[in-house]
Amino acid sequence: MNLVGSEKLQKMTASIFQEIADRKMEAIKNGKDVIDLSVGSPDFAPPSFVVDALVESAKDTSKYGYTLKGIGEFNEAVGYFYKQRYHVDLDPANEVLQLMGSQDGLAHLATAIINPGDYVLVPDPGYPIYEASVNIAGGIIYPMPLLAENKFLPNLHDIPKDVLQKTKMMIISYPGNPVTALADKVFFEKVVEFARTHNILVVHDFAYSELIFDEHPQISFMSIVGAKEVGIEFNSLSKSFNMAGCRIGYVVGNPQAIQLLATFKSNIDYGVFYPIQKAAVKALTSDFAYLREQVKEYELRRDALISGLEKSGWKVKKSPATMFVWAKIPSGWTSRQFAFELIDRAGVAVIPGDAFGALGEGYVRIAMVQPPERLTEAAERIEQFLAEVVEK
C-alpha cells in the first residue's frame, strides 16, 4: 500500500522537532553527552501532596469509568484559583471547561468556531498548534508579526480592513512560547476594544501564568474589563504544577465560546481520568507556596544561563517569564545551521526559531529544563563552540 498523508497533515510541522530529536540521538549514539534544552517538558516533580491525592484516589476502583466532563469540584477549584491568583471572578458552571491539557482545547477550538475560508490572526512566531488548528479547520492564517522593536506585541493597526471583515478569531499569548514577552494592561485593553469593534473572538493562551519572574504582575486577560464578552483564556497544570503528563488543563471566559468547544469535545473524547482531576483540585486549592518556590528555581536557572552566555560573548535578553530563553543568534547563521552545529559540535540541543514561524528565523529557543549547573555547563560549551567557529 502507498499511503500519503492528507494535505492538511502535510501543512503541519512536526519535522523540525523530529529532526532535532534524531540528531540528538545520533550524537548520543556516537558517545556524546548531550545537554537537552530542546523540549519544553518540565523536569521538576509535581508537589508531593498532589501525588498523594492522585495515588489515594487511584485506589478507588469505582473511579475507572469515563468521566465525560470535568467534575464540579474541578470547576470550583479553577474558580478559586483564578480569584486567588488573578483577582478574576468566574462562574464555575458556565465559564470553566476542563480540557485534556490546554493543547486539547487549542487544537479543537478553531474547528468548533470557524468555517473554511474564515481568517484567524495568529502570532508569528507562535506556538505551533495555533497555526495547525486553523489548518485543521480549513481557515486562513493571517500572521501577526511579533517584533523585538514592538516589544513583541502585534501592531493591530497594521491588519488590513478586508482581512478584519473576514476574521473570526485571534490568538495571543503573554507570556508565550517561544516569545517570552509580557503584555501590559494597556495592550490587553486595546485588544478588548479591537475585538469588540471587529467582532473577533480573542483567545489568550496563559499556559505560563505561573512562571513570571522578577515580581512582574501576573495579568490574566480575564481581569480586563469587557474581556469575558470577547474572549477566552487557556490555562494548564502542566507547567504550573509540573503535571504535563497528566494531561489536564482548562479554558475560562466567554460562556458561549466555552459551550461551543464543550459541544465539540463531547463528540470526540470521554474526559480526564478521575484521580487526575482530584489531584488537580488539590493543586489548584493549595496554598501556592509551591508556585513561589518554583519561580525562584526558574529564576536561578535563567540567571545561570544568561550570565553564562554573556561570558561567551553571546548577548541574550533575559526572559521575564516562562521556561524558555528566546535567543537572537549571532549573525552569519541560519537558525537551523546554528542549532544543528550546536548539537553536533557542542552537544547542546535547542530548537531553531523558524520552527515557530517565518519570523523565528534568526533565533533559537532554549528550554530551561535542566538544573543551573547543567545550564552553566551548556553555556561553557557554547562559549567554546563560538570561539572555534570564529577562529575557523
Ligand X SMILES: Cc1ncc(COP(=O)(O)O)c(C=O)c1O
The residue to which cell 522578577 is assigned: 214
CA-wise closest residue to 341 among 23, 4, 10: 23
> Between residues 40 and 347, which has the closer beta carbon with respect to ligand X?
40
Instruction: State in angstroms the smallest separation of the CB of 25 from ligand X.
Output: 21
Closest to ligand X by CB, 27 vs 244, is 244
Closer CB to ligand X, 88 or 203, in the complex: 203
Q: Which is nearer to ligand X, 173 or 319 (CB)?
A: 173
Contact residue for ligand X among 173, 240, 294, 335 (CB under 6 A): 173
Residue among 177, 220, 277, 376 that touches ligand X (CB under 6 A): 177
Is residue 123 near ligand X by the rule CB under 6 A?
A: no
Residue nearest to ligand X (CB): 101
Cβ 101 to ligand X, closest distance in Å?
3
Looking up cell 485506589 gives 59
Please pick, from the candidates 24, 38, 40, 385, the single residue that binds ligand X as defined by CB under 6 A: 40
Listed ranges 71-79, 98-106, 159-167, 338-346: which one lies at the site for ligand X (CB under 6 A): 98-106
Q: How many residues bind ligand X (CB under 6 A)?
A: 15
- Backbone phi, then psi, for 369, in 5-degree steps? -105, 30
Closest CA to 204 of 291, 42, 182, 115: 182
d(CA 341, CA 349): 9
All three cell numbers of 206:
496563559
* DSSP codes, 50-71: HHHHHHHHHT-GGG-S---S--
Residues with Cβ within 8 Å of 68's Cβ and at least 6 positions away in sequence, in order, are: 266, 270, 271
* Grid coordinates given for 76: 470550583
The one among 47, 70, 139, 176 contacting ligand X by CB under 6 A? 176
Residue 271 three-state SS = coil
Residues 183-242 that bind ligand X (CB under 6 A): 205, 207, 236, 238
Q: How far is the CB of 355 from ligand X (least distance, A)?
A: 12
What whole-number distance in Å separates Cα of residue 62 and Cα of residue 41?
A: 31
Least separation in angstroms between residue 103's CB and ligand X is 3
Whole-angstrom Cα distance, residue 382 to residue 271? 44
Binding residues for ligand X, rule: CB under 6 A, are: 40, 101-103, 106, 127, 173, 176-177, 205, 207, 236, 238, 244, 249
